[in-house]
Structure formats: C-alpha cells, structure tokens
Amino acid sequence: MKSSFRVALFRPAKQNTIVLCVLMVFYILFSLLLFFSWINPSLAGETTSHIAADSNRYMYFADSLREGGNDPFVLMSMYSFPNTLWAPVMMAIIFPSAFLIVIVNYIIFLWSVWLLDKVANIRLGLFLALLLGNYTTLISLLSVNKEILDLLSTAFFCYWISRKRAWALVLALVIALVNRYEVCAAMLLYMVVQSRWNPIRKYRLIVLIVVCILCSIMLPIVLSHDMSLRLEEAQSSIGAEGSGLLIVLDSLQMHYLFFLATIPKMVLNLFGELRRIPHFDAGDPANTSIIFFNNVANLLVVVLLATQNRLRLRRDWMYYAAINAVIMSVTLVVQPRYFYSFYVILCFEAARMREPGEKCLRLAFREREAITGA
C-alpha cells in the first residue's frame, strides 16, 4: 500500500522532468538550426546581417591577438582597465571555433541554472520558459557575448547570498570584473550596504535613495568628460525617435540630478522599444526585433511578479537586483542588454516556490493592515 502511494506521489514529478527534458532538447535543436543557417554565416562574414551584437568585434580582436597582428586599435582597446572586452575576447581566443563557443555557452547556461536551483526551490519549467523566452538569451547561447557570463556571475553571487560560500563570491567578483565591471560594482555596493557598518542597512528603500543621491553627486565629477561627449553625439542625431528624452536624462545626470533620471532611464532600457511598431530588419535584427522582444520579455516578467506581489526588496537577491538596476542606469546609452543580470533575477524570483508558511504570513500581514486602517 505504501509503495503504491509513493509511486503515485512521484509519478507526476518524473513525468514533468521527462517533458522538460524533451522540450529542452527541441529548443537546443532549434537553436542549432538557427545557428548554422543564420547566425554563423553572419559571424563568418558571409552575410552583412547584424545579429549577435558585438560578437564580430570580439572575434576580430581574438583573431588579431592570436595571430600576433599587433593592431594598434586592438592593443589600445585591450590595455585599458577596467575593460569589458577581456572576458569575451579571452573566450574567443581559447575557443576559436564558433560552434565550440556554442557548446561552452550551453554548459555555462546549465551550470548557472543548476546553481540558481540550489539557491531556492524554483519551478524549473517556469524559470527556463522565462529565461529562454527572451531573445537575448537565445542570441547569447549562440555567439560570443557578455550576457552569458553575466548569467554565470549572477548565479554565483546569488549562491553566495544564499549559502555564504566564499569561493562563489570570489568567482562572481572575478568574472564580473573582467566581463562587465558595472556588475562587479553592483556586487561590491550590495556588500557595503549590507555590512554591519551601515547603520541604516535594515531600511532598504532608504538605502537605495541614498545610493541614488550619492551617485548624483559623484557622477558629474568622475564622468563629466564622457557625459559631455555623449551629449554631443546624441544632439547630432536629434532626429532619431526617443533621442530627445535620452538627452534630457543624460543632461540631468550630468548636472547632479541623477536621482531624478534613475527610474526614467530604467523604464527606457527595460520597456522603451515597446513604444515602436514591431518590425523585422533582416540587416540589423540586433537593434530591431531582438531588442523589441527583449522588452516584451521584461514586461511579461514584471507583470508576473506584480500579480504574485513579489516586487519587493524583502528577498536579498531582489535587493541586489534593485542595486544592479540603479548602477546600470548610469550608462549614457539605452542598451537593454546591460540589464540582463537584473532580468535573470526577476525570472528567478517569479519561478521561486512559496516557502512553508509564507502564504499565512502574507494573509496575516494584510489582516493587520486592514485592522490598522480601520
């Protein structure tokens, strides 16, 4: 009797696992078909389509360094610090085959998912659906890029937040530093505001406001030259849709008012493309359809979190995600790919299973609010 009950209990889980594996195999096969028929020809220079963002640039740099070409432009670009070229170019040097990079990217992806699954109990099917449903993830799996390494460093950092394993923190910081130093800065800032030396660490919303104010003071001093150049470039293309708003926000940022521009810049990066009529440009899908559907994925996961009542700073990883979004808003261009780490954590939280007693605590909190309000 007991054995039959156990079989009945675990049968749905096994069936779900089988279905998930089958769907994942179909997704991989579809992505490989896309790689060989569309993306690889663009990376090899057989077509002029701009699909995989900066992948061609990373591969060119890797070929030049591997062959000892001593291209001054390549050397100057690689010698600066901090440098967001190091990790993707290094990957292209170590793995000279585009298909080999795809295999490595899938290994990184599965490793990252495994790490995040250890952070908290998640509905794996939902998490994979949200993550893989974003076109940015698909392109990241099929090319040399920084986003796949953003996923790995984020997974390591969330693992450290949950398990406090020093090796996970070291790997997260090192990967982030050589891949996208803004992510590393967000990690370090999280550690600072969460330290016992911060007297207001328990008031997370207030801490975020203070961070925005401090950024408002420091950015014009540290980045005044870069921001001036960015404003000149934006003004030269004022006819482009949306550039006027970006100029205003960058101008606020340059004049000690970043705290006013923070949320609008987040919205512009996460949802800005939704104001355009969706269209597919075969010559430049990276800056048209891919970004548009990236913004669609952002909207879907935010709506899902809102319906779940999970857009809160209570979870440590959501608090880190908010800090990450603030730091990424410093960028002087609209680039949704920079917010990929933020998106990964939103997907993770949306797929997280409720902990025992969490629903009861939420109902008790609402009841107390109702009594207090009455």
Determine contact, residues 84/146, Cβ cutoff 8 Å.
yes
Of 216, 172, 305, 162, residue with least CA distance to 208: 216
Does 227 score more than 70 pLDDT?
A: no
Rounded average pLDDT over 277-289: 80
* pLDDT exceeds cutoff 90 at 246: no
Of 103-107, 237-241, 320-324, the one with minimum mean pLDDT is 237-241
The pTM score is 0.89
**Token pair of 227 as six digits:** 């921001």
Determine the distance from the C-alpha atom of residue 25 to the mean position of all C-alpha atoms in its chain, rounded to a whole number. Answer: 24
Region of poorest pLDDT, from 26-40, 165-179, 352-366: 352-366
pLDDT at position 288: 85
- Whether the CA torsion 100, 104, 110, 113 is positive or negative: it is negative
The arithmetic mean of pLDDT across residues 290-307, rounded, is 96
In whole numbers, what is the pLDDT of the chain averaged over residues?
87
DSSP 240: S
- Is 50 exceeded by the pLDDT of residue 241? no
| Among 170-179, 230-239, 300-309, the least confident range | 230-239
Higher pLDDT pick, 365 / 33: 33
Query: Taking Cα atoms as reference points, which of 217, 173, 185 lies closest to residue 327?
Result: 185
Contacts of 325 (CB under 8 A, 6+ apart): 266, 339, 342
Q: Is the pLDDT of residue 10 over 50?
A: no
Q: Rounded to whole angstroms, how far apart are CA atoms 214 and 206? A: 12
What is the distance between the alpha carbons of residues 216 and 12, in angstroms, rounded to a whole number?
Answer: 53
pLDDT of res. 359:
56
Is it the case that residue 367 has pLDDT exceeding 90?
A: no
**Local confidence band at 179 (pLDDT 50, 70, 90 cut-offs):** very high
Identify any residues that bridge with 352 across adjacent strands, giving them in sequence order.
Answer: 122
The residue that leads in pLDDT, 147 or 44, is: 147
pLDDT for the residue numbered 12: 56
Given this model, what pLDDT does residue 247 score?
A: 82
Of all residues in the chain, what percent carry a pLDDT higher than 70?
86
| Burial status of residue 130 (CB atoms within 10 A of its CB: 0-12, 13-18, 19 or more) | buried
The residue-averaged pLDDT of 172-177 equals 97
Region class of 50: left (phi > 0), else alpha (psi between -120 and 50), else beta: beta
Contact 157, 175 (CB under 8 A): no
Section 135-145 average pLDDT? 95
371 pLDDT higher than 80 = no
- Nearest C-alpha neighbor of 208 from the set 104, 334, 313: 313
| Averaged pLDDT for residues 110-133 | 95
Structural domain boundaries in the chain: 47-373
Residue 315: band (very low, low, confident or very high) from pLDDT cuts 50, 70, 90:
very high
pLDDT score of 42 more than 70: yes
| 234 has pLDDT over 60 | no
Token code pair at residue 294: 């990236």
Q: Does the pLDDT of residue 14 top 80, yes or no?
A: no
Kindly state the tokens that stand for 317: 């990883």
* DSSP calls for 158-216: HHHHHH--HHHHHHHHHHHHHH-HHHHHHHHHHHHHTSTT-TTTT-HHHHHHHHHHHHH
pLDDT(369) > 50: no
Q: Is residue 370 scored above 70 in pLDDT?
A: no
Task: Name the burial class of residue 111, with classes exposed (0-12), middle (13-18) and buried (19+) by CB atoms within 10 angstroms of its CB.
Answer: middle
How far is the C-alpha of 217 from the C-alpha of 198, rounded, in Å?
20
Residues contacting 19, CB < 8 A, separation 6+: none
Percent of the chain beyond pLDDT 90?
Answer: 65
Identify the pLDDT of residue 361. Answer: 47
73-82, 143-152, 161-170, 182-191: the lowest-pLDDT one? 73-82
Query: What are the backbone dihedrals phi and psi of residue 122, each rounded to the nearest 5 degrees, phi first?
Result: -125, 155
Per-residue pLDDT at 350? 97
- Per-residue tokens: 205: 């919303």
For residue 109, count other CB atoms closer than 10 A to its CB: 20
In sequence order, which residues have a C-beta less than 8 Å from that of residue 309 and are 6 or more positions away? 362
Predicted confidence (pLDDT) at residue 374 exceeds the cutoff of 50: no
